[in-house]
A and B are shown apart, each in its own frame.
Chain A
Amino acid sequence: MDHQQEKVQLFGMWASPYVYKVKWALSIKGVEYEYVEEDLWNKSRQLLKHNPVHKKVPVLVYNGKPVAESDVIVQFIDDVWKGHGGRILPEEPHERAMARFWARFVPDKLSPPIWKWFTTAGGEEQDAAHDAAMEQLRVLEEELAHGGNEFFAGDSVGLVDLSLGALAYVIPMYEEIIGERLVIEERFPSLYAWMGRFLAAPPVKDHLPPMEELKLRFRAIREYFVKNA
């Protein structure tokens, strides 16, 4: 594939975890790109043209051709820049299937109870969400421990790490705002260690959101849900 004459643009928004997932993937491959910050209350004509179906970020535009949906974009990046930088998906088909399976686990099973815990005022309902989140974290902890690697599929950031990634900084923020722990080191030693390792990993460490602004944003979100409970 000729990478000399290509133009890569990423349309994003500073607080979106899905945008960071794409940034980390581009970083793994060492791809140069133009970043366009979108105001989601006033979406650009370009964004609406590039993603008419969902009208969302992230959108990757490769030589004028748009790709939407972060999971689709990440696999596109792995396909286009095959042989460049690190591998996002493993080589062997069964391992690839495992990576795709666990990458889906995060949005399907893990994120919903965590979001529920964060957006529920308190009481039994919040406790139930906290317990449900712990249960899913236990499943992931077992998978990570069983693999015995630095990251989910090996010794570098891959598809599953990218999928889980934003939770590495989001969970500690939620814990601080709510005043309750979720990923306790003694209960989830592998996940706890993974979180630190992920945030320090080369493709990630220089591509993180502004943490203070993000925390303010999350505080405002929680206040909204608590007030409207």
Chain B
Amino acid sequence: MAGGGDLKLLGVWTSPYVIRVRVALNLKSLPYEYVEENLGSKSALLLASNPVHKTVPVLLHGGRPVNESQVILQYIDEVYASNGPSVLPADPYERAAARFWAAYVDDKVGAAWQGMLFTCRTEEERAAAVARAVAALQTLEGALEECSKGKAFFGGDAIGFVDVVLGGYLGWFGAVDKMIGRRVIDPAKTPLLARWEERFRAAEAAKGVVPDDADKMLEFLPTLLALSAPKSK
């Protein structure tokens, strides 16, 4: 077990970027204190820890902040290397592939996610954003086939980097599914991803962290919309 003190995570329960960090901490069985932030009234600790972006997630390790979710994921991997499997593979080429697809997820799926919930002004705009997400997911369907080599996850037998990065969005996809009356991860269009979603949600590390109550998320949405600043990645 790496030293350096205790772990504290500042987050918001619906944030895909926070959820992915929580899954990663669970995968390493790391105890941590979770602090739910009110984005309308950010804590002094949050503002002091992430003065550049003032957003969650922020991981505090022995009081020292680490910001930006993909940076945090790699930090956890490196510091707690002896605490069980890493989300990033050991081979340099496979690591590059994982980083490439993780960047693709946040770039294409992330932008569409913002569009389908936070920046759309009409149902037409929401549908257009969903279509962009579906297109990106169709590319990811191919990536899943390639990366998994027939196994359960992008990371193979175990949950990996791309799995946690994409998995963070599942809670919101469930809420959008309810809003629009059809699935964003459509089993007809992306069958591998649809099965992947079930496996991810059922994983021990995802329990209690990947939201499964679409109504609760939809109730929270107006609060988030009222806040002007978009969340950091």
Contact = CB atoms under 8 A, between A and B. Distances in A.
A97 B64 CA distance: 11
A45 interface: no
Contact of B93 (A76, A94, A97): A76
Contact of B100 (A62, A68, A96, A101): A68
A104 B53 CA distance: 12
Contact of A94 (B66, B99, B139): B66
Interface of A is mostly: helix
Contacts of B71: 97, 100-101, 104
Interface in A70-84: 71-73, 75-76, 79-80
B74 A72 contact: no
Nearest to B61: A94
A55 to B, nearest CB: 13
Given A71-B103, A139-B52, A65 B93 contact: yes
B72 interface: yes
B135 to A, nearest CB: 12
Interface string B65-80: 0111011101100110
Contacts of B70: 100
A35 B96 CA distance: 20
A104 B100 CA distance: 15
A105 interface: yes
B75 A73 contact: no
B79 A101 contact: no
A105 B52 contact: yes
A76 B96 contact: yes
A180 B79 CA distance: 46
B139 to A, nearest CB: 7
Interface in B36-95: 52, 61, 64, 66-68, 70-72, 74-75, 78-79, 92-93, 95
A104 B104 CA distance: 15
A91 to B, nearest CB: 10
Given A96-B78, A97-B71, A104-B71, A72 B100 contact: yes
Nearest to A79: B92
Interface of B is mostly: helix
B192 to A, nearest CB: 17
Nearest to A96: B78
A76 B95 contact: yes
Contact of A69 (B61, B68, B72, B103): B103
A93 B78 CA distance: 6
Contact of B96 (A67, A93, A96): A67
Interface string A85-102: 000000001101100110
A80 B90 CA distance: 11
26 contacts: A53-B139, A62-B93, A67-B96, A68-B100, A69-B99, A69-B103, A71-B99, A72-B96, A72-B100, A75-B99, A76-B93, A76-B96, A79-B95, A79-B96, A94-B61, A94-B64, A94-B66, A96-B74, A97-B66, A97-B72, A97-B74, A97-B75, A101-B67, A104-B68, A105-B52, A139-B52
Interface of A: 53, 62, 65, 67-69, 71-73, 75-76, 79-80, 93-94, 96-97, 100-101, 104-105, 109, 139
> 9 tightest CB-CB pairs across the interface, nearest first?
A79-B92, A76-B96, A93-B78, A97-B75, A100-B71, A72-B99, A67-B96, A97-B66, A93-B79
Given A67-B100, A71-B99, A79-B92, 5 more contacts: A67-B93, A69-B99, A75-B96, A96-B74, A105-B52
